[in-house]
Amino acid sequence: MAEETTTPAIQLPDATKLVVSNSPHIRGNETISKVMVQVLLALLPAAIAAVWFFGLAALKVMVLCTVGCIAVEEIWNKCTKRATTWKDGSAAITGLLLAMNLSSGTPWWICILGCLLAIILGKQLFGGLGFNPFNPALVARVALLIGFPSLMTSWVAPTPGNLTVCDAMTGATPLGAQGEAVASLADLFSGNVGGCLGETSALALLLGGAFLIVRKLIKWQVPAAFIGTVVVISGLVHAINPEITQTPIYHVLAGGLLIGAFFMATDMVTSPMTAKGALIFGCGCGLITSVIRIWGGYPEGVSFSILFMNALTPLIDRYTIGKPFGYIRVKKEAA
């Protein structure tokens, strides 16, 4: 009589201890509030430079926008019966970035209107933090620029070291005259030139940008591709016809290119997830900015370019994201 063969027992995991959950499966120590605090630290040099060059009027605009955005977000949370979110710091970052896109002579009601546009139109109507397709601060800036072009393009002349309110207004902008430099490279680098609070001092912005890259809070590919594309295009055009536009270094130091490249285009929510996608995103921002600056109707094109590329971010992610190991795309059968 043949011996019975026994099937080896299969050791399955204890079903009561098997946990199946959605990603992410690896968690770090970083939190939203910790990231936001570091971004605030990165913006600190630009904020100090703004107060140095434009006095307490700059500080007033920054306080109004920061407190205003936090207040608007909490009022919205109360009205929609959502949990309080001011402690995560995202509203404070939006407010400070909004202030960096305004002049020190901006009226208080424009600051409050900007807070409403940034938090409600740019963020909460899409579901709040993590769901907004566009950078909220830039949504407010562009809306204010379209609605109040005269107020949004009137700059206060810098008075280094004078903290008293300065009401001297000037319409001059470093990018306003095609082919003619209205400020020296040294003034553009230090920030001793009229403009928005966060776009005048290239030195302060570079310090903040370097901090973000070293802390790996932003993808270096975005600012590198953004600034590099502007340098290449403006350099070619300037070489062909210097009367059309300024030199590449002038384009880098003037206007909002640096704050846009380091602080706006690198928004974790609205920029691509992959390194390849970040390069494409940055190149697109640089291309659109160059076209608007050189041939467009506005002297500055950074805000428009980032918002346009924000809209393309889902498409960029779709074609640049890695294929999972072992994944085989199933071809659709012909009808």
pLDDT at 138 over 50: yes
Q: Per-residue confidence at 1, pLDDT binned at 50, 70, 90?
A: very low
pLDDT at 6 over 50: yes
pLDDT at 116 over 90: yes
Q: Per-residue confidence at 129, pLDDT binned at 50, 70, 90?
A: confident
The pLDDT of residue 8: 58
Strand, coil or helix: 157: coil
Does residue 150 or residue 110 have the better pLDDT? Answer: 110
Is the dihedral angle over the CA atoms 206, 207, 213, 216 positive or is it negative? negative
Average pLDDT over residues 292-317: 92
Q: Per-residue confidence at 31, pLDDT binned at 50, 70, 90?
A: confident
Q: Per-residue confidence at 81, pLDDT binned at 50, 70, 90?
A: very high
Strand, coil or helix: 15: coil
Q: Which residue's structure tokens are 């990165």?
A: 42
Average pLDDT over residues 101-109: 93
Does residue 229 or residue 8 have the better pLDDT? Answer: 229
Tokens (6 digits) for 136: 């909220």
d(CA 159, CA 53): 5
Q: Which of 255, 271, 277 is nearest to 321 (CA)?
A: 277
The pLDDT of residue 24: 64
Q: E strands within the chain?
A: 155-156, 169-170
What is the DSSP pairing of strand 155-156 with strand 169-170?
Answer: antiparallel
Strand, coil or helix: 170: strand
Strand, coil or helix: 208: helix
Q: Which domains does the chain have, with CATH numbers?
A: 32-318 (1.10.3430)
pLDDT at 193 over 70: yes
Which range (142-156, 169-183, 245-259) has the least confidence?
A: 169-183
Quote the mean pLDDT of the chain.
Answer: 87
